[in-house]
Structure 1
Amino acid sequence: MRSKLSRSILLSLLVVPAFAFAQEAVAPATTATATEAVAIGNKLVAAAPQDKAQIVFFRESKFVGGAIGFKVREGDAELGKLRSGKYFVATVEPGKHEYNVHGETKDVLSIEVEAGETYYVLGSLGMGIVAGRPNLSPSDEATFLSMSAKLKLAN
């Protein structure tokens, strides 16, 4: 009985480190695959024109706050409306831009863009007293791609 217990303990001491080593070997491959997905390119958004910049505004698909949409504006000009699970692309001149959204509160995002580049802006909805509080924050292509399966182009 004692020898069976000793063998079981010895075997478990050998298996646990081997399993941990195998997990470490798998982790870099998973990271490389995610990086390759970004490097392959974005099928939803074409490359930016050489003389202009483009900004992709997107909002994650969520049930909570899904009925609430908000308009993205630059000054008084409306660029598009962000609803849950939607995105739109704005082609703009290079330079500094300020985008705002209104709801229970106002949020302003200042961004400087360069010609031939694509930028990503994540729209979200925070909790408010009466209605949601829209928010715009800088994002990246990897975040956009991770949500892209559930995103649709806004009308």
Structure 2
Amino acid sequence: MRSMLSRTAILSLLLVPAFAIANEGDAATATTATTTAPAATANTLIQAAPADKAQIVFFRESKFVGAAIGFKVREGENELGKLRSGKYFVANVEPGKHEYNVHGETKDVLTMEVEAGETYYVLGSLGMGIVAGRPNLSPSDEATFVSMSGKLKLAK
């Protein structure tokens, strides 16, 4: 019985370094995959902005909470598109100052100064309201859009 315990102990001591070596190899592979992943997740949904116009990408994260509520993004009285959960749309606009607004239980206005040939990102979100959600527009970036792009669909 004692010799069997000795053999088990020795075998365990020999296997632990083997597992450690195998895990180091897995960690090296994971590190390589992590460093190559950003190149694979490039922005494939949005084309380059036209040279004479600015391009603004309005998007909203896909969430279950508030999924039934959509809101229209407007510039003045002109409706640019409707943001629902998990949707995005692109607006090509003239360079200069613009004010975008959304209405719900409250009104939110986002003022932007845009330049020709540039792409800008705006995140739409829905806050808590008394009767319905409170829409909000906030500046964002390409990295945030790309991180959500797997679940986003073009709004119609």
Cα shift at 1:103: 1.6
Residue 12 of structure 2 aligns with an amino acid whose one-letter code is S
**CA distance in 1 between partners of 2:59 and 2:109 (Å):** 16
**Cα displacement (A) at 1:3:** 4.3
Cα distance per residue 1:17-60 (max 9 Å; x no partner): 6514532442342342233431xx52x33321101110011122
RMSD: 2.4
Q: How does 1:90-129 map to 2 (within 5 A)?
A: 90-129=91-130
Question: Partner letter of residue 49 of structure 1?
Answer: P
Q: Could you tell me which runs of 5 or more consecutive residues in structure 2 were left unpaired when the two chains were aligned.
A: none
Task: Give the partner amino acid of 1:94.
Answer: P
Identity %: 70
If you compute each CA radius of gyration, which structure gives the higher value, 1 or 2? 2
Taking the aligned partners of 2:57 and 2:145, their CA distance within structure 1 comes to 9
* Alignment CA distance shift 1:127-1:27 (3 Å): farther
Counterpart amino acid of residue 7 in structure 1: L
1:93-143 deviation line (CA, Å, top 9, x unaligned) = 223323221222232323332211111212121222211111222223343
2:41: which partner in 1? Answer: 37
Structure 1: 5+ residue runs without aligned partners?
none
Q: What does residue range 1-155 of structure 1 map to in structure 2 within 5 Å?
A: 1-16=5-20, 18-20=22-24, 22-38=26-42, 41-42=43-44, 44-155=45-156
Give TM-score scaled by structure 2 length: 0.79
| Counterpart secondary structure, 2:41 | helix
Residues in 2 aligned to 1:76 and 1:96: alpha-carbon distance in whole angstroms: 16
